[in-house]
Every structure is written in structure tokens, then in C-alpha cells.
């Protein structure tokens, strides 16, 4: 067995191709969530690490045989769980190619093509999201880490104004910064706030209205020691904070605003939906995912920051061997150095969609959520939110019935969706976020909800 034998590579990649195509062709006939029986196959992975080398063909065969029966069918069209999103075919194809190229996106000198394509993505995203043209973009694994980057930039910037060099002095003995966020802030945000050394005691919580938006009148007194964290797209209701009002106050008083817009920030790219993000360009930093609404491959988180110095001072790494390029070095905007060139597949998805394709994708997701809400309501379900974007909160009248309905839906194999607690109630949460979901899929979803009521 020789790993470099070209026929071996041909055979291996051919097999991956055939397996992938078969998977995508069949995927809508599999249960959306693997059955308990299928999941038993996962036990076949419980084995000692092989002593001898295996033929890669055998390795791939084993993976394909078990994997294609045990995956959660997110690349199909009837997965409404979490806010996960599907994957565009161009995303799969470009990612294959990028993986084959094995580019390290850290520095321009390591991969000029990744540097170029990230620079292009930066420009395109600035235009799509109507951001200030000083904005810098970094690519990370997801919105969680993107938020970490935005808050690290915020910390650096706010301390600098107080004449405290946080890189030099750290946090011990530092003046206090105040973190202000809504009571509906995503869990990843508080995690990152704590990771940055602020501690829960630095956090001031603003109550939210019935849709989960921060109540502007309930903001505490803002000053220049504040970092405000706002949200574009609540994971349950899909609602957006009032950026226009809050950012204006923050900007006047010298506070930093970061918007967590994991899936919602893209709303700005649709004429029909951009009223939701009004004033978002007034913020200082934004985090958003490619892998949710945009349907890029995992893992693609985007940090955008209006102040180049703040983000690079927070995240820049030094080393005698580091040779910075002339145009763009991706690693100066993110915590990591070596990483996959996710800018390649991000570029490919944006290039394929274009402005119109993206807008029509966004509009379809919104229409899909409205369709579900309307029909579920007619059937007697309570829809607990206004349909701002692509999220629907469903309640079956009481907790017991809601749990029963959820259980039936999750074991139906036809659709899958999750649950949450919303304003004290146990609810079912639907997210329309796959490019593939069409009227047919939505009708099937409605039918499952009807069956589950019986």
C-alpha cells in the first residue's frame, strides 16, 4: 500500500465523491434525526486505535458506512432545529477544493489566495451590510469566538481611553469596565465576557420586552467605561434590538457597542428585511456566522470591527519569524494562527449568490417562517412571537401538551425541531434557515404538527 500512488488517490477521492453524491440524493428519504437503532451503529467506532496502518480506502469505507446512516440530516430541507442552516452545493464543492489545496490562512506569505479572497469578502460584506469602510474582518470558527474578538477589541479600546494599557498591565488593578446586555443575550456572550476576565459582577442586565428586545428606557446610566452588547436575531423570537436608539446614546457617551448578529445581521442585505437592522452601522463591532443564514459550510464565524487599531492591538501576535504581507494577513484579526482557509468557501458562496441571490434567500426564509406561523395558528397552536425574521415560537396551550407534541415531532423522522424556555414557558422553537426548504417541506411540517395534536 502506498499512500502516494496516484491511482489510490483517484480511488479514494472518487469514493468520497460517490458517497457524498449518494448521500445528498438520498438524504430526504432518511429520518431527519437518526433512529435509535441507527445510532447503535456508532458503537462500531468503539475500538482500540489500530496498531497497523489501514488502507485509506478501508478507513473511508468504514466512515461512510456508519456515517451516512447516523448523521443528523441538516443538509436536507426539513431540519428546523436550533438555528443551524443548511449548506449550499457551491459551499460543499469549494470546500472540497480548498481542503485539497491545504492552505494555511494565517499569513499572506503562507497563502496569497486566502489573503486575497478574505480581502474580497471583507469588501463585499462591508457593502452588503452597509458598514463603515474602515471595517476590518476576521474569520473564526463561529459567532462565539467572533464575539470574543469584538469584546477583546472593545476592552482594549475602552481601557486605552482610560490610559490603561491592558496588554501591558493586565486586569489586576485595572479601572472597572461595565458590561451592559439584555436579559435575552445569547449564552455564548456571557461566556466570552467571563473569559475576558470581567466576571459576572461586571455585567448589568437590561430587561427585555415581550419579543426579547432590550427596553431602551431601562438602560442604566451609560458612560465611557461601558461596553454594550446588543442582538440582531433572538434565538427564539428572531427579534432585533433597537440599534438606532441604543447606538446613538452609546456613541454620544463614549460607550462601545457590539452587535451579536449570528444569524440576523444578514437581514440588512434584503430590502424587505433591512428595517430590522436600522442603525446597526452605528455600532463599533459585529459578529455574524456564515454557517447559519448564509448556508456556508462549517465553520465560519465573522468578526467585523470598525476600529482597525482596537482589534489588531488586542489580537496581534508577534514573533521573529512572522513576515507580514503587504495587503492582508488574516491572523492579525483573530486569536488563532494556523487555520483552514474558510475565506475560500465564504467567497464562493457570496460569489454564487450575489446580492440578489442573498436577498432572495433571506426573503424565502422569512416567508417560510410566516407560512408556518400562519398555518400553525389556524390549527390551534399559539404563536408566541411576531415573525420578525425566520424564527417561530410554538406553544400547544400548556406545558404537557407542548412536550408531547415535541416528542412526536422529534421522533417523526419527517421534521426535527427543538425546544426552549421563553418568558418562563416551555416552548417549541422552529428556525427556517436552509436554502433548500420549500413549500412542499413546509406543508409536510404543518402536517406533522397536525398529526402531533391528535
Ligand X SMILES: *Cc1c(COP(=O)(O)O)cnc(C)c1O
Interface residues with ligand X (CB under 6 A) are 83, 142-144, 186, 188, 233, 235, 260, 262-263, 289, 301
Nearer Cβ to ligand X (81/142): 142
Strands 425-431, 391-395: pairing kind = antiparallel
Query: In the bound complex, which residue of the shown chain has the CB atom lying closest to ligand X?
Result: 142
Q: Cell 431527519 identifies what position? A: 32
Nearer Cβ to ligand X (115/361): 361
Q: How far is the CB of 52 from ligand X (least distance, A)?
A: 38
Interior angle at CA 41, CA 37 and CA 45, nearest 5: 155
Q: How far is the CB of 291 from ligand X (least distance, A)?
A: 6
Nearer Cβ to ligand X (386/399): 386
Q: How far is the CB of 90 from ligand X (least distance, A)?
A: 20
Distance (Å) of CA 227 to CA 63, 193, 401: 46, 10, 42
CA distance 348 to 95: 9
Q: How far is the CB of 420 from ligand X (least distance, A)?
A: 12
Q: How far is the CB of 83 from ligand X (least distance, A)?
A: 5
Nearest to 311 by CA among 292, 290, 329: 329
Query: Which secondary-structure segment (H or E) carries 399?
Result: helix 399-412
Nearest to 285 by CA among 187, 160, 155: 155
Nearer Cβ to ligand X (30/150): 150
Nearer Cβ to ligand X (241/260): 260
- Residue pair 99/110 in contact (Cβ under 8 Å)? The answer is no
Distance (Å) of CA 153 to CA 143, 240, 258, 307: 15, 23, 10, 8
Nearer Cβ to ligand X (34/212): 212
Strands 203-206, 178-182: pairing kind = parallel
Q: How far is the CB of 63 from ligand X (least distance, A)?
A: 25
Amino acid at each position: 500500500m502506498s499512500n502516494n500512488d496516484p491511482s489510490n488517490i483517484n480511488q479514494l477521492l472518487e469514493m468520497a465523491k460517490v458517497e457524498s453524491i449518494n448521500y445528498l440524493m438520498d438524504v430526504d428519504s432518511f429520518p431527519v434525526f437518526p433512529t435509535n437503532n441507527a445510532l447503535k451503529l456508532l458503537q462500531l467506532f468503539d475500538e482500540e486505535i489500530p496498531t497497523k496502518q489501514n488502507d485509506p480506502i478501508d478507513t473511508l469505507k468504514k466512515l461512510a458506512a456508519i456515517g451516512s446512516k447516523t448523521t443528523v440530516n441538516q443538509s436536507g430541507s426539513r431540519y428546523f432545529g436550533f438555528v443551524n442552516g443548511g449548506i449550499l452545493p457551491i459551499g460543499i464543492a469549494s470546500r472540497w477544493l480548498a481542503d485539497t489545496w491545504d492552505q494555511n490562512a494565517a499569513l499572506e506569505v503562507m497563502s496569497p489566495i486566502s489573503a486575497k479572497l478574505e480581502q474580497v469578502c471583507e469588501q463585499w460584506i462591508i457593502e452588503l451590510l452597509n458598514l463603515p469602510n474602515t471595517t476590518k474582518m476576521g474569520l473564526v470558527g463561529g459567532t462565539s469566538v467572533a464575539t470574543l474578538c469584538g469584546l477583546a477589541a472593545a476592552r482594549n479600546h475602552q481601557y486605552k481611553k482610560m490610559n490603561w494599557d491592558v496588554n501591558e498591565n493586565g486586569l489586576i488593578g485595572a479601572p472597572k469596565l461595565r458590561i451592559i446586555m439584555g436579559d435575552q443575550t445569547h449564552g455564548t456572550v456571557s461566556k466570552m465576557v467571563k473569559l475576558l476576565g470581567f466576571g459576572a459582577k461586571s455585567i448589568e442586565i437590561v430587561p427585555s420586552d415581550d419579543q426579547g428586545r432590550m427596553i431602551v428606557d431601562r438602560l442604566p446610566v451609560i458612560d465611557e467605561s461601558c461596553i454594550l452588547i446588543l442582538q440582531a436575531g433572538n434565538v427564539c423570537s428572531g427579534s432585533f434590538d433597537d440599534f438606532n436608539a441604543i447606538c446613538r446614546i452609546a456613541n454620544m457617551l463614549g460607550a462601545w457597542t457590539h452587535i451579536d448578529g449570528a444569524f440576523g445581521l444578514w437581514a440588512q442585505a434584503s430590502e424587505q428585511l433591512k428595517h430590522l437592522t436600522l442603525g446597526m452601522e452605528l455600532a463599533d463591532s459585529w459578529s455574524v456566522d456564515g454557517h447559519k443564514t448564509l448556508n456556508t459550510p462549517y465553520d465560519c464565524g465573522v468578526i467585523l470591527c470598525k476600529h482597525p487599531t482596537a482589534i489588531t492591538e488586542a489580537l496581534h501576535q508577534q514573533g521573529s519569524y512572522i513576515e507580514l504581507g503587504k495587503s492582508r494577513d488574516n491572523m492579525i484579526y483573530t486569536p488563532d494562527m494556523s487555520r483552514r482557509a474558510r475565506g475560500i468557501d465564504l467567497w464562493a458562496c457570496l460569489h454564487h449568490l450575489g446580492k440578489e441571490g442573498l436577498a432572495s434567500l433571506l426573503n424565502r426564509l422569512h416567508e417560510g417562517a410566516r407560512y408556518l406561523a400562519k398555518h400553525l395558528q389556524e390549527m390551534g397552536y399559539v404563536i408566541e412571537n411576531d415573525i420578525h425574521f425566520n424564527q417561530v415560537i410554538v406553544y400547544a396551550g400548556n406545558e404537557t401538551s407542548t412536550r408531547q407534541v415535541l416528542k412526536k415531532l422529534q421522533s417523526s423522522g419527517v421534521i426535527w425541531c427543538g425546544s426552549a424556555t421563553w418568558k418562563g414557558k416551555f416552548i417549541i422553537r422552529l428556525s427556517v434557515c436552509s436554502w433548500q426548504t420549500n413549500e412542499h417541506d413546509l406543508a409536510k411540517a404543518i402536517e406533522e404538527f397536525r398529526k402531533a395534536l391528535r
